[in-house]
């Protein structure tokens, strides 16, 4: 049985990936962020039976010794631990450099010393900035339009350098906008759903014109696993994308129609990104992932939204719907 480590296993995508790896028969070690509450993030919502099958390792991705301890004895690392909120990166960029760049370096150094068989480093479609052409393939130029995206570009390039310098078995996995159950309230789909379910008739949003390419989280998790199964993906950067786009305004209207047709949208100045920082268009190419792996998206946007709405209906108490979450 293959032993794998998932960093950021307590987070949104990481918790879904951890569950999926269990179903696929992997021996899973979950790296969660150490805190004095002994909180394991979204893993705390898993059944006792599932949790009993996971080895929990509490640590801090910024600490090289803890990362090394976690990687000992594992065959593969799925490195997802990161700070991801864009507005938070505007005023606390140091923490993004420490977590996203230094954290990735810690994983790579330990994996190199321990001869780990595979390392998957998580990137983001934000590294491309606003589309200069579509669909965005892996050769698209990079543009650091926020401190967050700049640190993810840095993380990717360090990963590339370890592949090229030390011939390490590294793949950079680049999901486009992932959504679904357990997503943070600062992301756009949870923002809209949670406001609608709380009963308000005015939905506060930032800019409505940007477009996004939305992956359902279970398809994203499956993408990671399919990429890890293929030898052809080593040394590659690979998008996980649906190759379809929808504007934030269209998305909001779709959710309004499903949940509360009386609701209207108002533009909240506080939620607008600075003009040169807003990514106006994201539409990803999935040609490469389909060529190199057996991945196919299984969920339609409609079905993914239904499952997401259902989750929020049952978990609204876990979200602060009346404030702007950054």
pLDDT in tens, 206-227: 888 999 999 999 999 999 999 9
pLDDT in tens, 167-211: 999 999 999 999 999 999 888 999 999 999 988 888 888 888 999
Assess whether pLDDT exceeds 70 at residue 303: yes
Assess whether pLDDT exceeds 70 at residue 323: no
Global pTM value: 0.95
The structural domains of the chain, ordered by start, are 3-178+216-240 (3.40.50.720)
Confidence band of 317 (pLDDT split at 50, 70, 90): confident
pLDDT in tens, 21-56: 999 999 999 999 999 999 999 999 999 999 999 999
What crossing angle do the helices spanning 103-113 and 147-166 adopt, rounded to 10°? 20
- Predicted local confidence at residue 277, as pLDDT: 74
pLDDT in tens, 248-287: 999 999 999 999 999 999 887 777 778 777 888 999 999 9
pLDDT in tens, 81-95: 999 998 899 999 999
The structure tokens listed for 7 are 């960093």
Q: What's the mean pLDDT when you consider all of the chain?
A: 94
- Predicted local confidence at residue 324, as pLDDT: 60
């Amino acid at each position: 049985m293959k032993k794998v480590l998932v960093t950021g296993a307590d987070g949104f995508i990481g918790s879904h990936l951890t569950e999926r790896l269990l179903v696929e028969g992997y021996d899973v070690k979950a790296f969660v962020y150490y805190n004095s509450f002994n909180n394991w993030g979204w893993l705390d919502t898993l059944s006792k039976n599932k949790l009993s099958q996971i080895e929990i390792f509490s640590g801090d991705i910024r600490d090289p010794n803890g990362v090394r301890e976690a990687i000992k004895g594992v065959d593969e690392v799925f490195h997802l631990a990161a700070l991801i909120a864009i507005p938070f990166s505007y005023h606390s960029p140091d923490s993004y450099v420490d977590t996203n760049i230094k954290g990735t370096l810690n994983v790579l150094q330990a994996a190199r010393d321990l001869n780990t068989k595979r390392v998957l480093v998580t990137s983001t479609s934000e590294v491309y900035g606003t589309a200069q052409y579509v669909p965005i393939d892996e050769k698209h130029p990079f543009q650091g339009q926020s401190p967050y995206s700049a640190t993810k570009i840095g993380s990717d390039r360090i990963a590339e350098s370890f592949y090229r310098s030390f011939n390490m078995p590294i793949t950079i996995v680049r999901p486009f906008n992932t959504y679904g159950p357990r997503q943070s309230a600062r992301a756009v789909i949870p923002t809209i759903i949670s406001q609608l379910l709380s009963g308000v008739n005015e939905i506060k949003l930032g800019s409505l014109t940007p477009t996004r390419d939305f992956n359902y989280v279970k398809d994203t998790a499956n993408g990671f696993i399919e990429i890890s199964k293929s030898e052809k993906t080593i040394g590659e950067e690979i998008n996980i994308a649906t190759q379809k786009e929808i504007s934030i305004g269209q998305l909001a209207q779709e959710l309004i129609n499903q949940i509360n047709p009386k609701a209207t949208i108002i533009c909240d100045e506080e939620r607008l990104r600075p003009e040169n920082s807003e990514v106006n268009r994201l539409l990803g190419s999935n040609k490469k992932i389909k060529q190199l792996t057996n991945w196919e998206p299984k969920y339609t946007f409609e079905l993914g939204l239904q499952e997401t709405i259902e989750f929020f209906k049952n978990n609204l108490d876990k979200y602060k719907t009346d404030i702007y979450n950054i």
